[in-house]
Structure 1
Amino acid sequence: MTIYRLPANTPRSFYRGDGRIGRFRGVRPADDPYYPEDWIASTTSRHGAAPAGLTTLPDGRSLAEAIAADPVWWLGERHVAEHGADPAILVKLLDAGERLPLHVHPDRRFAASHLASPYGKTEAWVIVSAEPGAAVHLGFARDVEPGELAGWVADQRIDRMLDATNRVPVRAGDAILCPAGLPHAIGAGVLMVEVQEPTDFSVLLEWAGFDVDGPAAGHLGLG
């Protein structure tokens, strides 16, 4: 049996962590707070920024290359029979040192039609730790008309958007499903395991105050 000890895999992000991943792993947290995620055994890259996000094995190969060369050894016959050499999952550690912006992920139908991907981005969160009062915002608490939402987004009325969401307090041990298409934001003070479809697609409803680059239409080529 071959055992691979995988190093941390932390692509740079636009929001801050608070050192929780390092403390969870028992290592010194990074000095730069903009590495708030660890993509575990990942064959998924940052959208438009490969190879960022891909796990590298100790022998220098990417995990994706190793699996493609011998998928049955890595994934097993049953998995390969259904999914081929695609692990079909991405697992992250996520440390919210600040509230993440309100955003939404495409579903599989939209991703197949517009993004040339068989996967959208449905997520499930398992809360590892949460500071007192920590919460997530999950979906709108009332019907929000498209024009109303478009106005909030255009004017960056963050207060209006957040006031319309369901604020859900969280604590260690909680598990939450966030289906693709549901507006959501993860509040500050949360360390979670995020199990998701293997993509890096996000549509930001909020960007004011975050270190997000690029045109207003974003990087998905939908503008």
Structure 2
Amino acid sequence: MKNVSRRRFLLQSGAVASAPWLPDVVRAEEEARPNLPVGAKLNEVYVLPATPQTTQWGWFDNAQPPVLKLRSGDRVAMETLMAAANQVLPGVSIEDITQLRLAYPGRGPHTITGPIYIEEAEPGDTLKIRIERIVPRSYGANWNLPGELGLGQFPERFPVGQVRYFYFDLKRASTQFSPGIRVPLRPFPGVLGVARAEPG
């Protein structure tokens, strides 16, 4: 396995900035979550759960020590958290989301799992990652923040902040946007990258 910049890289596979639709859904998914330590192996696959110790919220920092070490050809099942280190949950209003943004300026919404250290990779190597499968949670959200925060595609057209929660039909790979309108789901990693050479 090759590395573009350093011997460790940051990997995040989060879809859209997400938040659940119903409290019961969140509780059910959290209760079903296996309680496995970092680096455990199940059927030759390493496990990397998302915890406060294995994630960074809103930035890349290559001073962060690796949370897992892998070799070329190893497989890993990674978990990711919801936006803002799992603080955007059912019942969280746009006012609460706005306060999170104000309380933590400079951070993006993504919660990044990693970094992972690749044994024997050297600076200048090319890193190849094969994503075999993405299993999304069954809920998500889109929002824009008001005023000067201007987070959203068209903040000048939508000056009042809003949050909209969606429930995913994973069997049909779609979600209802509004009555009579369904949107197909195309899961993808929200953030995926390697550590840069310079500090920071």
Q: TM-score range by the shorter chain?
A: under 0.3
Q: TM-score, normalised by structure 1?
A: 0.25
Q: Between the two structures, name the one with larger relative contact order (CA 8 Å, sep ≥ 6).
A: 2
Q: TM-score, normalised by structure 2?
A: 0.27
